[in-house]
Chain A
C-alpha cells in the first residue's frame, strides 16, 4: 500500500471533535458521573458505520 492509498473516514474530523467535546462538557456539568470513554466510543461508532 502506498502513501496515497490512505483510509478514508468519510466524515469530517470536526464532527468527531465536536461530539467528543460535547461529551466532555456534559461530564463536567453532570452531577452523576458517566463513563466518558464509553460515550465517546459510542459517538464515534455512530458517526463511522
Chain B
C-alpha cells in the first residue's frame, strides 16, 4: 500500500479543501509535515482513521465539522465534511471517500446535525475502467485491517507505551496481526462453536449419564465464559486507568513545580518493575533448584545410615573383604589350595575353603563401599553447594526486597510532596493520580482472583471432558455425533499446536529483525530481545552475565521504533516471497509517525533520522520545529520527497475567533 493524495474538506480544524500529496519517490520516500503543538498533526493522522474506519481517537470525537466552517454558515445551511484518499495497492489505484453532511441547527451550534453520510471505494482495473467495490468496509479490512493501521499509523504516546514492562499483550497482538496468525485463532474459535453443536446432538442421542455430564459441562463452560468476560472487562478497565495515570504523568511533567519529581518517580517506578521482575526470576529459580536438588536436604539420615552400616561391616571384619569370592571359586574349581594341598570334595580342607567363599565379601561390595564413600563425600559437597546457592539467592532476594521497600518509601515521599504542593493544579493532579493508582491496585487484585478461578474451572471442565470421552455411546446417531465432536476437538488441538509453533517461529523472526534495527539505532552496546512471554526487553553484558536494562523514555522510544520497523520489514519480505500464503500474506505498508523524535537526545535523533528511510517503503513524519533541528533537519531534508507545513490560526489572534489549520507545501 502506498499513499498518494489526501484531500480533506472541513474535517476538524482543516477548513475548506486542503490537499496533501505524499512522496512517491523511492530514494526520497519521506513526507515531512511540520506543525507546532496543537496545530493539527494528530488530527491529520486521525483523518486517515476516519476515512478508513469511521473512527477518531481525539477529544470530542463527535465534533467532525470545522468550527470555522460551521460558524460562518447560515442556520439551516449544509456543510460537507469529507476525506478522500488515493492510494495504490496490489497494482491497483484505489480511491476511498468518506463524506458526512451536517446541517447548522442554530446560531450557537458548532457541531451540526448529521443529515447524510456516504462511503465508497473504487479502483481502476487493468483496462482503465473504474470499478466500485460493493462492500467497501469489508474490502478495506482486507487491504488494511484496522489493527494493522494502528501499528503503522501511530502517535508518540503509542511509541512510548509499546516497550513498557506491561505491554506484552500489545506486542503479542501486534506480532499475531502482522503475521496473519489470527486466521488460526479464528479457526480455533469457530471449531469450538461447531464442536458445541455436535455435542448438543451427542447429548440428545446419548443416555441419561451422558446427558447429565454434558449439561454439567455446559453449565461450567458458561460460568467460564462469564469469568473470562469479567476478566477482560477488568483488564480493559485497568488499561483505561493506566492511560489516565499516563496522561496525568505527562501533565505533571509539563508543570515546572512537578517536572523533576515526576521524572524521578518514573525512574523509580521503572526500577521497581525491574526489581519485581528480578524477584520473580529468583523465586522461579528457587522453585527449580528445590525440585531438582531439594532431595539433598533429606539425604542426611540416609547418608548417616549408610555410614553406620559400613562401620559395622568394618567392625565385623567384612570390610575390607580380603578374599574375593571369585578367587576362592577358582581354587575350588582347580581342586588346589594356594598352599598346594589338594581340595577334594567331601574332605575337611575343601569344606574349610568353601566356608571362606561364603564369608568372602559380596560381589563388588568393596567397590560399592568405596564408591559409596566417595559418593557420600560428593553428596556432602553438593549439599553444601546447594545450600550456598540457595542462601545466595535468598540474600539477593532480601537485598531486592529491601531496595523495593526503599523505592516504595521514596515514591510515597514524592507523592506526599506533590499532594502538599501549593500549586492547586499539581495537588489536584496528584490526588487524582493517587485515586487512579489505588484503583489500579484494586484491579490487579481482582485480576489475580479471576485468573485463579478460571484456572480451577478449566481443570474441572477438563476432567468432565475426559469422562465424556470415555463414555460408551450405543445409538448410531450418537456415535456419529461423538465422532464429529471428537474430530472438531482434535482439529482444534492440531491448530492450537500449529499456532504455537508459528507464534514461536514468528517471535524469533521478529526478534532478529528488531535486534538488527535496535543495534543500528542505539549507540550503546545493548541488544533487544523479545522474551518467550512477548516482552520487549533490552539487555547489556555485565561480565559474562546478561542483565536487563532499565530504559529511559528515549531508549524506550528507540526500542519501539525498532519493533515497528522490524514488523514492517517482515511484512514486506513475506509479501514479496508469497510464502505461507494461507497463514500470512504479508504486505507493504507505509509508516506514519507523529512526533517520533519526542524524547531523543541529539546523538539518537541523528541515528534515527539516518535509519528511518529504511524502516518502510514510504514514511510520513509529523514533527514540531523543536524536534526538527540541527542534525535531523540536515539528514532528513535530503531524504524528504515532500515537505509540508501546518499553518495554524490561533483563535486568540484571529479576528473570527475560530481556530483553523491550512496545509501548505513548503
Contacts and interface: CB of A to CB of B under 8 A. Distances in A.
Nearest to A27: B186
Main secondary structure of the interface of B (DSSP, over half): helix
A44 to B, nearest CB: 5
Contacts of B498: 17
B86 to A, nearest CB: 21
B494 A17 contact: yes
Interface in A12-49: 13-14, 16-17, 20-21, 24-25, 28-29, 31-33, 36-37, 40-41, 44-45, 47-49
A44 B190 contact: no
Contact of A1 (B133, B471, B487): B471
B304 interface: no
B26 interface: no
Contact of B487 (A3, A11, A37): A11
Contact of A24 (B134, B186, B197, B484): B186
A9 B490 contact: yes
Given A20-B187, A29-B142, A31-B135, A41 B194 contact: yes
Contact of B491 (A16, A36, A49): A16
Contacts of A9: 483, 486-487, 490
A13 B487 contact: yes
A33 B187 CA distance: 16
B135 A7 contact: no
B191 A40 contact: yes
Contact of A16 (B139, B183, B487): B487
Interface residues of A, number: 32
Contact of A31 (B133, B197, B488): B133
B303 interface: no
Nearest to B186: A24
B193 A37 contact: yes
Contacts of A6: 469
A47 B9 CA distance: 55
A28 B483 CA distance: 28
Nearest to A2: B470
B484 A21 contact: no
Contacts of A17: 491, 494-495, 498
Contacts of B472: 1, 5
Contacts of B479: 7
B590 to A, nearest CB: 22
A40 B483 contact: no
Given A31-B135, A33-B138, A20 B484 contact: no
B483 A45 contact: no
B491 A20 contact: yes
Contacts of B469: 6-7
B482 interface: yes
A20 B487 contact: no
B495 A20 contact: yes
B494 A7 contact: no
Nearest to A31: B135
B582 A21 contact: yes
A18 B543 CA distance: 50
Contact of B490 (A3, A13, A37): A13
Contacts of B135: 31-32
Given A28-B142, A40-B191, A48-B480, 20 more contacts: A1-B470, A9-B486, A9-B487, A13-B491, A16-B487, A20-B191, A20-B495, A21-B183, A24-B183, A24-B190, A28-B183, A29-B142, A31-B138, A33-B138, A36-B190, A40-B190, A40-B194, A41-B197, A44-B487, A48-B483
Interface of B: 133-135, 138-139, 142, 183-184, 186-187, 190-191, 193-194, 197-198, 469-472, 479-480, 482-484, 486-488, 490-491, 494-495, 498, 582
21 contacts: A1-B470, A3-B470, A6-B469, A7-B469, A8-B483, A9-B486, A9-B490, A17-B494, A20-B491, A21-B187, A21-B582, A24-B183, A24-B190, A29-B142, A31-B134, A31-B135, A36-B186, A37-B194, A41-B198, A44-B194, A44-B488
Closest 3 CB pairs of A and B: A16-B491, A1-B472, A13-B490
